[in-house]
């Protein structure tokens, strides 16, 4: 298995677990946040897909426009306003499918290419950027699971593999 296949396999597995968690979210929870200043459930869902699009564009296209807004302006500079839970989950699904398709089409020999933006102090290999997308999803999925527990909805346990 090469690094591209590993990424794609990991991304698919993560999507399944993320779907389990997001399926438990209710529309009336969209603006719930555990403390002032924390992301709401709707903002977290939106952040997950908006950042995946932006980071994917850096990795695959060398397009830094997401980071050029996000780094100096903070999260609110790129986040926008969440719509409904269902719409944010649909956008997350669409974005994840686009990531899988784009990464599958990205030439394996370019995974070691570096993306550099001197003004932002950014220098990373494509492979590292892409695996960071997966790590980011796990991080925010865990936050959503914690939010659900705080709201009295037990998050599903991972299914045992046979």
The pLDDT-based confidence of 100 (bands split at 50, 70, 90) is very high
**Contact between residue 124 and residue 112 where contact means Cβ atoms under 8 Å apart:** no
Whose tokens are 């037990």? That residue is 154
Looking at 35-152, list the stretches that DSSP marks H as alpha helix, in order from N- to C-terminal side.
41-61, 65-73, 76-79, 85-105, 126-150
Which domains are delineated in the chain? Answer: 3-150 (1.20.120.450)
pTM: 0.93
| Residue 73: per-residue pLDDT | 95
% of the chain residues with pLDDT over 90: 94
């Amino acid at each position: 298995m090469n690094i591209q296949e590993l990424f794609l396999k990991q991304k698919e597995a993560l999507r399944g677990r993320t779907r389990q968690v997001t399926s438990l979210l209710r529309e009336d929870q969209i603006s719930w946040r555990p403390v002032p200043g924390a992301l709401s459930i709707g903002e977290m869902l939106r952040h997950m897909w908006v950042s995946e699009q932006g980071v994917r564009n850096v990795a695959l296209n060398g397009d830094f426009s997401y980071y050029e807004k996000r780094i100096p302006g903070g999260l609110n500079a790129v986040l926008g306003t969440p719509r409904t839970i269902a719409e944010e989950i649909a956008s997350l699904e669409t974005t994840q499918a686009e990531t899988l398709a784009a990464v599958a089409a990205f030439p394996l020999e370019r995974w070691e290419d570096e993306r550099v933006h001197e003004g932002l102090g950014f220098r990373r290999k494509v492979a590292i950027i892409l695996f960071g997308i997966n790590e980011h999803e796990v991080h925010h999925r865990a936050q959503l699971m914690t939010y659900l527990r705080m709201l009295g909805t037990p998050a599903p346990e991972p299914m045992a593999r046979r």
